[in-house]
Structure 1
Amino acid sequence: MKKDLSCCCPSLISSRETIRFYLLFVLIALYMLAGAALFSSLERQAELKAHQLWETRLGDFSHEHNISCEKLKSLLRHYEEARTAGIRTKPGRALWDIPGAFYFVGTVVSTIGFGMTAPSTVTGKVLLVFYGLLGCSATILFFNLFLERVITLLSLLVSWCRRRTRRSGPEGPAREDNKNDRKPSVYQVTLVLFVVVLLVACGAASLYSAMEGWTYTESLYFCFVAFSTVGFGDFVSGQREHHEHTWAYQVANCLMMLFGVCCTYSLFNTISVIIKQWLNWLIRTMMPLCIDSWYRQFSVQSLV
C-alpha cells in the first residue's frame, strides 16, 4: 500500500531536492525573523536616542547662530550629495586617483561594496554594470579554484599522515590506499579554513588597529564585514589623508582583504555543504513519519 501511495504522490515523496529547497527557504526565513527581533531589541533604543540627540543639536545650533532649521537642513542635504563625490569634513586621501580607483574596483570585483565611493557620471555607472558582471564572475571562479587548491593540499597532507602512521605501526599485510581515504572530510576542511580565517582576521585586526586608530574590537568587526563581503561602509580602511603616502600599507591592505575574502568565501562554501548534509538527515528522518501519516490518512479514507 505504501508503494502505491508513493506512486500516487511522486511530487511529494520522491522529490527530495524540492523538499530540501522549501525547507531551507522556511529555515532561512525563520532565521531572518529571529535576527530581526534580536537586532531590533538591541539597536532600536540607540537609534531613537540618536534621533533625539540630533534634533536637540540641530535646534541648539539654529538658535545659537540665528539660522532657520529649513535652511540648515537644506545645507546638510547638499553635504550628503557632496559625500558621494568624496568630500568629507576631515581631509582624506583622493578617491579617484589610480590607487583610489584600484581600491574601488577591488571592492567591486570582490563584491564587498563599502559604498564610500561610487561613480557619479552616467558613463561610469553604465560601464560599472558590465565591468562588475565580468569582474565578479571571474573573482568567484578564482575563489572556487582557491578552495579546490585548499582541498588538494589537505588531501596530500592527510595521505602523507596516513602513510607515516602505517609505516610506524606494526607490520601487516600491505594495503593500497583507497581514493576516498585520501580525501579530507568536509568537517576537516571547515575546521582548517575556520582556523585560517581566524588567524588572518586577528593579524589583520592588529594591522588596522595600529594604522587606522580603531580599537581591536572595531578592527575585528571590520575584518568580518569586509572578508564576508557584507561591506556596510561604517568602517573603511585606507581612507585617511596620510595613507596616500604609505604605499606599503596600501599594498598590504589590498592583499590582506583579498586573502581574507578568499578564505571566508571558501569557509562559507564548506559550511553550506554541512548545512545541506543536515537538511538531508532531517528529510530522511521526517520522510518515514510523513509517509506513515499519509498512509494512515489514505487508509482511513479508503475504509470510509
Structure 2
Amino acid sequence: MQKALSCRCPSLIPSRETARFYLLCVLIALYMLAGAAIFSCLERPVELQTHQLWEKRLRDFSRAHNTSCEDLKLLLRHYEEARTAGIRTERGRALWDIPGAFYFVGTVVSTIGFGVSAPSTVTGKVLLVFYGLVGCSATILFFNLFLERVITLLSFVIFWCHRWRTGHSGLEDRASEGNEEWKPSVYQVTLVLFVAVLLVSCGAAALYSAMEGWTYLESLYFCFVAFSTVGFGDFVSGQRKHHEDTWAYQVANCLLMLLGVFCTYSLFNTISVIIKQGLNWMLRTLTWMYSGVRRYRLRPLFKLCLSDSELPICYCEDDTLHRVSSSCQGMLWSSYVPNAIGKCLCDEAQVETVCNRNTDGETSEKQ
C-alpha cells in the first residue's frame, strides 16, 4: 500500500468543456472583428458617397422648387414613419389582409423578421411578444424534430446504397450488423444537406428572378438571407401589387421559405458539430504545444485540463507528471494534488511539500 502525499498546489484548471467554451468565445470575437474590418472597408466608402449624393440632391431640389431643406426633411421624416404602416411610393399589396397577415406571422415564428410590416397598435405589439414567445419555441422544436428525421432518412439511404454496392444478402442478422456499422458520419449528412440547400436555393432563385424582377444573383442573396432567418429586409418577396392575384406564387413562396429554412437550420446544426470537432483538434494541438514547451522547462501560469478521461496534471521539479484523485473530477474549476517529491511550481511560487517515503526511497500512495 502506498501513502498519499500532502503536496497541494491550488490552481485554476478549467475542464475540457470550459476550455472549449472559452476558445469558442475568443474565435467568435476574432471572427466578428475580422468581418467588421472587411465589411467596413467595403461598405464605408459607398456609405459616404451615398450621403454626399443625398445631401446634394436635397439642395438641388430645394433650390429648384424654392423649398427649404428643413421642410423637405420634415416631409421625408413623416414618410419614414408611414413606411411602417405599409405606405410606399409605388403601391404594393395589402399588408394586413389574411394572406398578408399570414406572411407576417410566418416571418415571426421562423425568426426571419424582414421588417416590411410591424404592428402599429399597442395591443398588437403586446400580443406579438407572447405570440412570438410560443411560436418561436414551437418552431425551434419542429426544426429539431425535422433534423432527427432527416438523419434517420439519410441513415436508411446510405445503408441501402452500401448494401446495393457491396451485394449484401437480405438476412436480418447481417442487415442489423451493417446498419450498426454504416451509420452516416456528420460529414456525409452535412454534404447531403448542403446539396439540398443549394438545390432549393437555385430553384427558388429562378422563381424569384422571374416573379420579382431581381437579377439571379440578387435572388440567390435573398434566398440565403431568408433561409438563414437573418432577414435584412432589403429584398422581400411577394410584396408587389400584382402578387395578390397570383395564388400559385404565394403558395410556392411559403413552401419554399419553409423548406429552405428547415434545410438551412439542419445544415447549421451539422456544421456546428464540425466546428466542435475543430475546437477539440485545436485543444489537442495546444496540449501538444504545451508538452513541447514543457520539455524546455518553461512553466506557464495556468494548466488546462484538456481531456475528459484523464485527470489534471501537475508538473514538479523532478519532471514527473502526477495526477489528482478522482474526487476532483466533475468540478468546473478545481485544484489538484500532485504526488511529487520536492517542490511544485505554481504561479511562479515555490511551495514546500511534505512527502512520505518508503524505506527504499520510493513514494507510495494509499489505494
- TM-score (normalizing by structure 2): 0.76
Q: Deviations over 1:268-296 (max 9, x none)?
A: 00000000011011112212433665794
Question: Take 2:178 and 2:20, find their aligned partners in 1: how far apart are those partners?
Answer: 31
Question: Take 1:162 and 1:206, find their aligned partners in 2: how far apart are those partners?
Answer: 35
Aligned to 2:285: 285
- Alignment RMSD, CA only? 2.2
Question: Take 1:12 and 1:53, find their aligned partners in 2: how far apart are those partners?
Answer: 57
Structure 1 stretch 256-265 or stretch 287-296: which is displaced more? 287-296
Q: Deviations over 1:77-105 (max 9, x none)?
A: 00000000000000100000000000000
Is 1:12 the counterpart of 2:24? The answer is no
Q: Deviations over 1:209-242 (max 9, x none)?
A: 0000000000000000000000000000000001
Question: Take 1:220 and 1:227, find their aligned partners in 2: how far apart are those partners?
Answer: 10
Aligned to 1:260: 260
Structure 1 stretch 26-35 or stretch 288-297: which is displaced more? 288-297
Question: Take 1:161 and 1:9, find their aligned partners in 2: how far apart are those partners?
Answer: 55
The verdict on how the C-alpha distance between 1:162 and 1:85 changes in structure 2, with shifts beyond 3 A counting, is same
Question: Take 2:278 and 2:62, find their aligned partners in 1: how far apart are those partners?
Answer: 59
**1:38 Cα deviation from its structure 2 partner:** 0.7
Is 1:163 the counterpart of 2:163? The answer is yes
Amino acid at match of 2:95: L
Aligned to 1:148: 148
Question: Take 2:278 and 2:135, find their aligned partners in 1: how far apart are those partners?
Answer: 33
Aligned to 2:203: 203
Q: Deviations over 1:181-234 (max 9, x none)?
A: 242000000000000000000000000000000000000000000000000000
Q: How many residue pairs get matched?
A: 295
Question: Take 1:162 and 1:114, find their aligned partners in 2: how far apart are those partners?
Answer: 44
Aligned to 2:129: 129
Is 1:29 the counterpart of 2:29? The answer is yes
Question: Take 2:9 and 2:101, find their aligned partners in 1: how far apart are those partners?
Answer: 61
The verdict on how the C-alpha distance between 1:162 and 1:278 changes in structure 2, with shifts beyond 3 A counting, is same
The verdict on how the C-alpha distance between 1:11 and 1:164 changes in structure 2, with shifts beyond 3 A counting, is farther
Question: Take 2:255 and 2:11, find their aligned partners in 1: how far apart are those partners?
Answer: 51
Is 1:101 the counterpart of 2:104? The answer is no
Asked if structure 1 preserves the Cα contact closer than 8 Å seen for 2:9 and 2:344, the reply is: no
Gaps of 5+ in 1: none
The verdict on how the C-alpha distance between 1:8 and 1:227 changes in structure 2, with shifts beyond 3 A counting, is farther
Q: Which has the higher contact order (CA 8 A, sep 6+)?
A: 2
> Secondary structure of 1:12's partner?
strand
Amino acid at match of 2:194: F
Asked if structure 2 preserves the Cα contact closer than 8 Å seen for 1:154 and 1:184, the reply is: yes
Aligned to 2:76: 76
Is 1:139 the counterpart of 2:109? The answer is no
Amino acid at match of 1:12: I
Amino acid at match of 1:199: L
Question: Take 2:118 and 2:289, find their aligned partners in 1: how far apart are those partners?
Answer: 54
**1:159 Cα deviation from its structure 2 partner:** 1.5
Asked if structure 2 preserves the Cα contact closer than 8 Å seen for 1:156 and 1:182, the reply is: no
Asked if structure 1 preserves the Cα contact closer than 8 Å seen for 2:20 and 2:279, the reply is: yes
Question: Take 1:180 and 1:282, find their aligned partners in 2: how far apart are those partners?
Answer: 30
**1:125 Cα deviation from its structure 2 partner:** 0.5
Aligned to 2:117: 117
Asked if structure 1 preserves the Cα contact closer than 8 Å seen for 2:110 and 2:229, the reply is: yes
Question: Take 1:127 and 1:66, find their aligned partners in 2: how far apart are those partners?
Answer: 46
Question: Take 2:52 and 2:84, find their aligned partners in 1: how far apart are those partners?
Answer: 26
Question: Take 1:294 and 1:17, find their aligned partners in 2: how far apart are those partners?
Answer: 23
Where in structure 2 are the equivalents of 1:184-223 lying within 5 Å? 184-223=184-223
Amino acid at match of 2:97: D
Question: Take 1:227 and 1:193, find their aligned partners in 2: how far apart are those partners?
Answer: 13
**Structure with a larger share of its residues in strand:** 2
**1:176 Cα deviation from its structure 2 partner:** 5.3
Structure 1 stretch 283-292 or stretch 119-128: which is displaced more? 283-292
> Secondary structure of 2:177's partner?
coil
Question: Take 1:188 and 1:81, find their aligned partners in 2: how far apart are those partners?
Answer: 49
Identity in percent? 74
Question: Take 1:267 and 1:9, find their aligned partners in 2: how far apart are those partners?
Answer: 43
Gaps of 5+ in 2: 300-314, 318-342, 351-367
- TM-score (normalizing by structure 1): 0.91
Aligned to 1:49: 49
Question: Take 2:167 and 2:281, find their aligned partners in 1: how far apart are those partners?
Answer: 37
**1:165 Cα deviation from its structure 2 partner:** 3.1
Question: Take 1:57 and 1:186, find their aligned partners in 2: how far apart are those partners?
Answer: 55
Question: Take 1:72 and 1:28, find their aligned partners in 2: how far apart are those partners?
Answer: 44
Question: Take 1:294 and 1:22, find their aligned partners in 2: how far apart are those partners?
Answer: 23
